[in-house]
């Protein structure tokens, strides 16, 4: 009985040791995985963005909306929000997106149905719906409502918008018609709600995504959008 008890005690000790050892190893493994995942979420430079466009991002910018177009002639894209920290650029959130129906261009013109490639500040917002808690100046107006002759699926495109500072005057409502480079260079490029397909030149994402951007982008962090097809972004 004593021997059996002793053997049983040794067996329990071994099982306990295996259990503890296994638990410790698993914990360390999971800890390593977490650390690797955390490290992977930070980058010294913005992923997929080459030196040419990186040089155009202001030194004081701490928030970047990166729009990665699938191809030069594609309307499919991915929008990623990055925040700059002491560890580098942190991938904060991402959403499927659409851009101009005909893709991208480095020489945008009115009605070319392409989105302009480049780095642009984000300073103003607005929409048909009331301010959802935006940090950027927000203009609430029914004037954002799309014309009645547009397709039905576009009726809510401009419930919320963020103006992309391409050929516009910073610090004015998104609806301001002023075009410093002239009408031929187009304008009215916004981040707005998605309707499931390409746009006339804007970038569109889900309502939840846009509301997140509105509540996150902070003028004090000098947010910009870096946008284009992947090849142009990486150049």
> What token pair was written down for 207?
């309502």
Token pair for residue 233? Answer: 């972004």
Per-chain mean pLDDT for the chain:
88
Closest CA to 67 of 107, 122, 16, 29: 122
d(CA 68, CA 213): 16
- Structure confidence at residue 41 as a pLDDT band (50, 70, 90): confident
pLDDT, position 12? 30
Q: How does residue 208 score in pLDDT terms, banded at 50, 70 and 90?
A: very high
Residue with tokens 């493994």: 29
- When mean pLDDT is compared across 25-29, 72-76, 79-83, 87-91, the lowest value belongs to 25-29
Task: List pLDDT tens digits, range 132-191.
Answer: 999 999 999 999 999 999 999 999 999 999 999 999 999 999 999 999 999 999 999 999
More confident position, 40 or 233: 233
- pLDDT attached to residue 29: 54
pTM for the whole thing? 0.83
What average pLDDT does this structure show over 87-107? 97
Confidence of residue 2 (pLDDT cuts 50, 70, 90): very low
pLDDT at 79 over 80: yes
Q: Indicate whether 31 pLDDT > 90.
A: no
């Amino acid at each position: 009985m004593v021997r059996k008890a002793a053997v049983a005690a040794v067996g329990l000790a071994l099982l306990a040791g295996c259990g503890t050892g296994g638990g410790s190893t698993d914990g360390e493994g999971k800890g390593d995985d977490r650390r690797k995942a955390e490290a992977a979420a930070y980058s010294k430079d913005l992923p997929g963005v080459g030196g040419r466009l990186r040089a155009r991002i202001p030194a004081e910018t701490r928030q970047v909306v990166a729009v990665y177009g699938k191809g030069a002639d594609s309307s499919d894209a991915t929008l990623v929000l990055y925040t700059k920290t002491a560890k580098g650029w942190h991938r904060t959130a991402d959403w499927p997106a659409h851009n101009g129906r005909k893709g991208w261009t480095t020489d945008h013109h009115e009605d070319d149905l392409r989105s302009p490639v480049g780095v642009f500040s984000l300073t103003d917002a607005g929409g048909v719906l009331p301010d959802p808690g935006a940090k950027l100046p927000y203009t609430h107006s029914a004037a954002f409502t799309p014309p009645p002759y547009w397709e039905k699926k576009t009726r809510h495109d401009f419930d919320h918008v963020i103006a992309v500072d391409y050929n516009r005057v910073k610090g004015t409502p998104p609806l301001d018609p002023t075009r410093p480079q002239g009408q031929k260079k187009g304008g009215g490029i916004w981040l707005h709600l998605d309707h499931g397909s390409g746009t006339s030149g804007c970038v569109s994402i889900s309502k939840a995504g846009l509301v997140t951007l509105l509540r996150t982008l902070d003028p004090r962090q000098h947010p910009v959008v870096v946008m284009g097809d992947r090849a142009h972004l990486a150049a």
